[in-house]
């Protein structure tokens, strides 16, 4: 087991109250595996990613749980060791590739910085390796481009550069937070291909955070569905798409527009919106939007239980078996 | 880049001409001319009016304004700043004596401003809401709000008059000529402490506040979070990634503070009897010494233009996104 997360809880301490952005979630990621974490915008996915590196911005912080990476608990270790893991053991890709790159440093120097820090290369070795990494992530003429600044790159090229930085410390886990959301459709496909290629080359595990079910289908082996800071369903990607169990998962899958469905057929979204985290519905937080929920759902949040050997679901209306 | 600088310098010519014209008009339209002031200051009210008229003719003060203007401008364009009525010496010689004193003062004040202001701004932002941050924020507001002449007088009262630690004014001691070179240096530094402090500390207060807010803004940027996610040390995150971005607009402020420091020097130089440009200008205004007033104003205008240009050029040097050339995209 590469990553074991147990009962991870991250809160934001706001003037209006405590916002439970990540509310006691547990999951594993195996060596070399791709796990997707999906859910609507604002359900806490990015906070999970930042929690894994213990990097939640103030006034938030991880308040409980264990994050065991490679046998070590990230929440217990010294700051020095944690910095070795950030960028070294765990790499991270951000949603907005333009924003993740420092505008006043060249692409090459931002890659070299990580290479010198995590792999102890000297200036010249780092530059050669930066060129190789840019080439590997599919940037043409990398020996020229390392001298370019982020603003001189297109969105897709910036994301490639961000990926090059993320893999430069040879991480065993890559956290990809919405890696394709800010990109054109054609570029999205290229980035998905690139991530799959790099994963095979470097034998990395990927934690893919996205709300794009197409990307999930392309990349993930297992899927975790998140709602209001909790995981509500876990399943293999084929099982999940073929037969979603949780009504929220069904809703997500149903809201993907289908080609050939005809103009008459209305787009089906999930009614309502993600509730306010500071004022969550009682019991199962999904019940006000749920097509099959009833009075039995309003007292307590259902626990995530196994319904078959490989599947878990947190819903009173879903039978085991 | 050199084309850009040349273009900007050419553009500055009409601006400076405008400043020259407006200053000339204001100075000449102000009541009293050099002759009146000369006689007033020396209690020579009873002198024969014909003699006064002769002196007026000698200095060309009897001629119509536009004739005086054309003559003055013609000389200015040839690099001739004229002769001071009050000192009866070439204005260029007076400036050559005064400028080194002002530069000493303002360069050191600028240095103090940058070192103290930027350092305090960084501490304040990194330890936001700490005791240090609150002290810096409130302290800088108070210092920034104090008029510099009042602060200067208070410091003179406390440190010169009461404690006797620093001289009240002047640039050197009376026995300066008899000191060894090291003692001379120490004597100069001793005289510089109070004026440099007063001049530098108020702008340092402004710099600290600006630096703090800029750095806080930058620390919220995603590339700072991304730098931390790459495992960089907090020191590198702040002093390299965040600071480099936060400093860019500060550079503009410095370019623009060049004439400000000279403007501030007018008051400080007068209080500390510092024989620099500011004091020269104040004395010239009191004496209606037209050539000197016009020369000091023109120098301030030129400095403003140069300060702006330097700020813009440095901007392009430190921020790769700013370029004044038409470049082919990569």
- Residue B183's pLDDT band (boundaries 50, 70, 90)? confident
What DSSP string runs through B146-188? Answer: S-HHHHHHHHIIIIIIIS--S-SS-SS-TTGGGS-HHHHHHHH
The partner residue sitting opposite B330, judged by closest CB among A87, A114, A152, is A152
A 46-65 near B (Cβ less than 8 A): 50, 53, 55, 57
| A223 contacts: CB under 8 Å, gap ≥ 6 | A35, A36, A38, A216, A233, A234, A235, A236, A237, A240
pLDDT in tens, A77-132: 999 999 999 999 999 998 888 889 999 999 999 999 999 999 999 999 999 999 99
- Residue A66's pLDDT band (boundaries 50, 70, 90)? very high
- Residue B329's pLDDT band (boundaries 50, 70, 90)? low
- Residue B261's pLDDT band (boundaries 50, 70, 90)? low
- Residue A261's pLDDT band (boundaries 50, 70, 90)? low
The partner residue sitting opposite A87, judged by closest CB among B220, B225, B229, is B229
Residue B328 has pLDDT above 70, yes or no: no
C-beta of residue B198 within 8 angstroms of C-beta of residue B267 = no
The partner residue sitting opposite A118, judged by closest CB among B222, B231, B248, is B231
Q: What is the largest CA-CA distance in chain B?
A: 87
- Residue B205's pLDDT band (boundaries 50, 70, 90)? very high
A99 contact residues in B (CB cutoff 8 A): 221-223, 226
pLDDT on residue A242: 92
Residue A73 has pLDDT above 90, yes or no: yes
**Residue B70 to residue A298: CA distance in whole angstroms:** 91
Write down how long chain B is.
330
- Residue B228's pLDDT band (boundaries 50, 70, 90)? very high
Coil, strand or helix at B90: strand
pLDDT in tens, A213-243: 989 999 999 999 999 999 999 999 999 999 9
C-beta of residue B259 within 8 angstroms of C-beta of residue B307 = yes
pLDDT on residue B264: 58
**CA dist A139 → A136, B138, B231 (Å):** 7, 51, 25
pLDDT on residue A130: 95
pLDDT on residue A321: 57
Q: What proportion of chain B, given as a percentage, has pLDDT over 90?
A: 21
**CB pair distance less than 8 Å for B231 and A117:** yes
What's the rounded mean pLDDT across residues A167-185?
Answer: 91
Which range among A224-228, B20-24, B290-294 has the greatest average pLDDT?
Answer: A224-228
Searching chain B, which residue's CA lies closest to the CA of residue A166? B230
What's the rounded mean pLDDT across residues A159-166?
Answer: 94
pLDDT in tens, A275-321: 899 999 999 999 999 988 888 888 889 999 998 888 999 999 887 65
Which range among A168-177, A293-302, B182-191 has the greatest average pLDDT?
Answer: A168-177
- A163 vs B33, residue with greater confidence: A163
- Residue B180's pLDDT band (boundaries 50, 70, 90)? confident
Pull the structure tokens for residue B325: 């050339």
C-beta of residue A177 within 8 angstroms of C-beta of residue A44 = no
Pull the structure tokens for residue A81: 């060791």
Searching chain A, which residue's CA lies closest to the CA of residue B232? A83
**Residue B160 to residue B139: CA distance in whole angstroms:** 23
**CA dist B213 → A61, B61, B119, B131 (Å):** 24, 54, 13, 17
pLDDT on residue B33: 74
The partner residue sitting opposite B230, judged by closest CB among A87, A105, A153, is A87
Residue B330 has pLDDT above 60, yes or no: no
Average pLDDT in chain B: 85
pLDDT on residue B3: 84
The residue behind tokens 């999951």 is A27
- Residue B83's pLDDT band (boundaries 50, 70, 90)? confident
**Residue B191 to residue A203: CA distance in whole angstroms:** 69
**CB pair distance less than 8 Å for B241 and A102:** yes
pTM: 0.82
pLDDT on residue A19: 93
Residue B62 has pLDDT above 90, yes or no: no
| B74 contacts: CB under 8 Å, gap ≥ 6 | none
Which candidate, A58, A23, A42, A32, places its Cα nearest to that of A207?
A: A32
C-beta of residue B291 within 8 angstroms of C-beta of residue B81 = yes
What's the rounded mean pLDDT across residues A161-186?
Answer: 92
Residue B198 has pLDDT above 70, yes or no: yes
**CA dist A260 → A146, A263, A265 (Å):** 45, 8, 10
pLDDT on residue B327: 59
Which is it for strands A3-14 and A90-93: parallel, antiparallel or unpaired?
unpaired
- Residue B72's pLDDT band (boundaries 50, 70, 90)? confident
Q: What proportion of chain B, given as a percentage, has pLDDT over 70?
A: 96
For B4, the enclosing helix (H) or strand (E) is helix B2-29
Residue B98 has pLDDT above 60, yes or no: yes
Residue B167 has pLDDT above 90, yes or no: no
pLDDT on residue B78: 86
């Amino acid at each position: 087991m590469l990553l074991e997360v147990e009962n991870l809880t991250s809160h934001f301490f706001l003037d209006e109250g405590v916002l439970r952005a990540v509310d006691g979630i547990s999951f594993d990621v195996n060596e070399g595996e791709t796990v997707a974490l999906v859910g609507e915008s604002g359900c806490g996915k990015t906070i999970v990613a930042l929690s894994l590196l213990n990097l939640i911005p103030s006034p938030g912080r991880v308040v409980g749980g264990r994050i065991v990476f490679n046998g070590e608990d990230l929440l217990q270790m010294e700051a020095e060791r944690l910095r070795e893991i950030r960028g070294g053991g765990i790499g991270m890709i951000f949603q907005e590739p333009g924003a993740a790159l420092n505008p006043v440093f060249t692409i090459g120097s931002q890659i070299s910085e990580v290479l010198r820090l995590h792999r102890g290369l000297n200036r010249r070795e780092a530059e050669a390796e930066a060129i190789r990494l840019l080439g590997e992530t599919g940037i043409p003429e990398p020996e020229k481009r390392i001298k370019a600044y982020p603003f001189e790159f297109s969105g897709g090229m910036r994301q490639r550069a961000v990926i090059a930085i993320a893999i430069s410390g040879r991480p065993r886990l890559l956290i990809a937070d919405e890696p394709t959301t800010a990109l054109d459709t054609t570029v999205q496909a290229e980035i998905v291909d690139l991530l799959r290629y790099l994963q095979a080359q470097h034998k990395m595990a990927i934690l893919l955070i996205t709300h794009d079910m197409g990307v999930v289908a392309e990349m993930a082996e297992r899927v975790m569905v998140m709602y209001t800071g909790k995981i509500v369903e876990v399943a293999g990607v084929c099982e999940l798409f073929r037969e979603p169990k949780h009504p929220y998962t069904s809703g997500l899958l149903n809201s993907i527009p289908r080609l050939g469905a005809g103009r008459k057929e209305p787009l089906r979204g999930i009614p309502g919106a993600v509730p306010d985290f500071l004022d969550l519905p009682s019991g199962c937080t999904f019940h006000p939007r749920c097509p099959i929920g009833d009075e039995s759902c309003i007292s307590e949040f259902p626990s995530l239980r196994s319904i078959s050997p490989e599947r878990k679901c947190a819903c009173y209306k879903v039978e085991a078996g | 880049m050199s084309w850009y600088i040349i273009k900007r310098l050419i553009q500055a010519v009409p601006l400076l001409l405008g400043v020259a014209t407006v200053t000339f008009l204001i100075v000449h339209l102000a009541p009293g001319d050099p002759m009146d002031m000369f006689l007033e200051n020396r209690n020579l009210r009873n002198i024969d009016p014909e003699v006064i008229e002769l002196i007026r003719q000698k200095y060309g003060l009897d001629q119509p304004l536009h004739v005086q203007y054309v003559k003055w401008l013609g000389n200015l364009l040839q690099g001739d700043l004229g002769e001071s009525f009050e000192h009866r010496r070439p204005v260029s010689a007076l400036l050559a004596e005064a400028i080194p004193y002002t530069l000493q003062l303002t360069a050191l004040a600028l240095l103090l401003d940058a070192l103290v202001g930027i350092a305090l701004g960084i501490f304040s932002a990194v330890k936001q809401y700490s005791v240090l941050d609150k002290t810096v924020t409130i302290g800088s507001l108070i210092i920034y709000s104090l008029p510099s002449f009042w602060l200067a007088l208070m410091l003179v009262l406390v440190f010169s008059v009461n404690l006797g630690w620093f001289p009240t004014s002047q640039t050197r001691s009376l026995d300066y000529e008899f000191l060894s070179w090291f003692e001379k240096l120490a004597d100069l530094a001793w005289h510089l402490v109070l004026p440099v402090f007063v001049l530098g500390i108020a702008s340092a207060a402004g710099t600290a506040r600006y630096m703090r807010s800029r750095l806080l803004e930058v620390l919220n940027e995603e590339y700072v979070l991304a730098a931390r996610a790459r495992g960089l040390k907090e020191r590198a995150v702040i002093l390299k990634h965040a600071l480099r971005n936060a400093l860019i607009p500060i550079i503009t402020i410095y370019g623009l503070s060049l004439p400000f420091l000279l403007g501030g020097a007018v008051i400080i130089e007068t209080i500390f009897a510092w024989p620099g440009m500011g004091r020269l200008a104040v004395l010239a205004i009191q004496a209606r010494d037209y050539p000197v007033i016009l020369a000091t104003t023109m120098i301030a205008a030129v400095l403003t233009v140069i300060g702006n240009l330097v700020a813009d050029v440095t901007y392009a040097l430190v921020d790769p996104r700013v370029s004044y050339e038409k470049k082919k995209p990569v």
